[in-house]
């Protein structure tokens, strides 16, 4: 019972505050830059990305299981310049047609989704060929010392942060799903060294390959 209250009531409210720092806001703006048209956002949370979507976005199709997070999103949804539709509860089974969206967004969600392979396969399916997947995630550090701490702390993190994993290899997951990385920057969230295991960031864009427009491998 207490675990359920922590997971369902406390964690979404804490996330709404902790992931809204000025530093994270700047990263969110970078993450969603270049999105346009119809965008699916998996793990929509409390809508913290909404203020940063560019003008070219027409609709955000939100997928979010937490009732509390969806309620916290209400005022941001009302303030959005574009339409926001809550279309589903599970990023691992998107209720959208194949090749029906122009872009997809995931911020701090691939850490928590139980099966990130399934979620990424779904994102790939619903994106149109050439469509882009924009991600801002924390995950496995390239530093062996930090990665070792991530492994040690992972079981505790999962309990405290509602299933969040510290050491998922984000780039590898995105590439294994069939995306081509277009842009990637790794960063460490600012803060004390002791918090390094929690803040190794992957900020990037990956494209769904378009068979009609194969990528050039050599100059003309
Ligand atoms: C750390 S929060 C991040 C929320 C939001 N993306 C943000 O950047 O503020 C992780 C989110 O993933 C959501 N989540 C968990 N399992 C999910 C699933 N199977 N499908 C979609 N979202 C899920 C959680 O409810 C939570 O809102």
* CATH assignment of the domain containing 21: 3.40.50.150
Total-model pTM = 0.96
Question: What pLDDT, on the 0 to 100 scale, is given for residue 1?
Answer: 57
**Residue 214, SS3 per DSSP:** coil
CA 50/CA 76 separation, integer angstroms: 7
Question: What pLDDT, on the 0 to 100 scale, is given for residue 66?
Answer: 97
Question: What pLDDT, on the 0 to 100 scale, is given for residue 192?
Answer: 92
Question: What pLDDT, on the 0 to 100 scale, is given for residue 180?
Answer: 98
Residue 220 counted as domain residue:
no
In short, whether 197's Cβ falls inside 6 Å of ligand 1 is no
Residue 213 counted as domain residue:
no
Buried b (16+ CB within 10 A) or exposed e, 131-165: bbbbbbbbbbbeeeebbebbeeeeeebeeebbebb
For ligand 1, pick from 72, 73, 90, 112 the residue to mutate: most ligand atoms within 8 Å of CB. 112
Question: What pLDDT, on the 0 to 100 scale, is given for residue 96?
Answer: 98
Residue 118 counted as domain residue:
yes
For ligand 1, pick from 14, 23, 45 the residue to mutate: most ligand atoms within 8 Å of CB. 45
Residue 194 counted as domain residue:
yes
Question: What pLDDT, on the 0 to 100 scale, is given for residue 2?
Answer: 85
Question: What pLDDT, on the 0 to 100 scale, is given for residue 220?
Answer: 45
Residue 62 counted as domain residue:
yes
Domain count, the chain: 1
Residue 217 counted as domain residue:
no
Residue 218 counted as domain residue:
no
In short, whether 60's Cβ falls inside 6 Å of ligand 1 is no
In short, whether 48's Cβ falls inside 6 Å of ligand 1 is yes
How far, CA to CA in Å, does 83 sit from each of 25, 60, 67, 144, 218? 21, 6, 20, 44, 41
Question: What pLDDT, on the 0 to 100 scale, is given for residue 215?
Answer: 63
Q: Which residues pair with 21 in a beta bridge?
A: none
Minimum-distance ligand 1 atom for the alpha carbon of 65: 25
Contact (CB, 8 A) for 72 and 12: yes
Which structural domain range is residue 23 located in?
2-207
CA 143/CA 163 separation, integer angstroms: 23
CA 172/CA 79 separation, integer angstroms: 36
Question: What pLDDT, on the 0 to 100 scale, is given for residue 79?
Answer: 98
Q: If you search the block for the tokens 């070792």, which residue do you land on?
A: 148
Q: Which residues pair with 101 in a beta bridge?
A: 127
In short, whether 88's Cβ falls inside 6 Å of ligand 1 is no
Q: Tens-digit pLDDT profile for the chain (220 aa)?
A: 588 999 999 999 999 999 999 999 999 999 999 999 999 999 999 999 999 999 999 999 999 999 999 999 999 999 999 999 999 999 999 999 999 999 999 999 999 999 999 999 999 999 999 999 999 999 999 999 999 999 999 999 999 999 999 999 999 999 999 999 999 999 999 999 999 999 999 999 999 999 998 765 544 4
Residue 17 counted as domain residue:
yes
Our CA dihedral for 194, 191, 54, 181, rounded to 10 degrees, sits at -40
Question: What pLDDT, on the 0 to 100 scale, is given for residue 106?
Answer: 98
CA 184/CA 205 separation, integer angstroms: 7
Burial status of residue 208 (CB atoms within 10 A of its CB: 0-12, 13-18, 19 or more): buried
């Amino acid at each position: 019972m207490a675990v359920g209250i922590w997971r369902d009531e406390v964690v979404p409210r804490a996330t709404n505050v902790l992931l809204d720092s000025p530093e994270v806001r700047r990263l969110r703006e970078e993450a969603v830059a270049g999105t346009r048209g119809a965008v699916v956002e998996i793990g929509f949370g409390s809508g913290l990305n909404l203020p940063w979507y560019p003008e070219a976005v027409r609709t955000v199709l939100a997928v979010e299981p937490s009732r509390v997070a969806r309620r916290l999103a209400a005022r941001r949804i009302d303030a959005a310049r574009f339409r926001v539709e809550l279309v589903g509860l599970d990023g691992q089974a998107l209720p959208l047609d194949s090749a029906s969206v122009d872009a997809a967004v995931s911020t701090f969600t691939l850490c928590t989704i139980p099966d990130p392979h399934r979620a990424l396969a779904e994102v790939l399916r619903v994106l149109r060929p050439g469509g882009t997947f924009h991600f801002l995630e924390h995950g496995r550090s390239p530093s062996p010392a930090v990665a070792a701490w991530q492994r040690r702390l992972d079981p505790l993190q999962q309990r405290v942060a509602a299933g969040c994993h510290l050491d998922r290899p984000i780039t590898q997951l995105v590439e294994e799903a069939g995306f081509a990385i277009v842009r990637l920057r790794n960063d460490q969230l600012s803060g004390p060294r002791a918090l390094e295991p929690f803040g190794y960031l992957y900020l990037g864009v990956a494209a769904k390959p378009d068979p009609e427009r194969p990528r050039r491998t050599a100059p003309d």
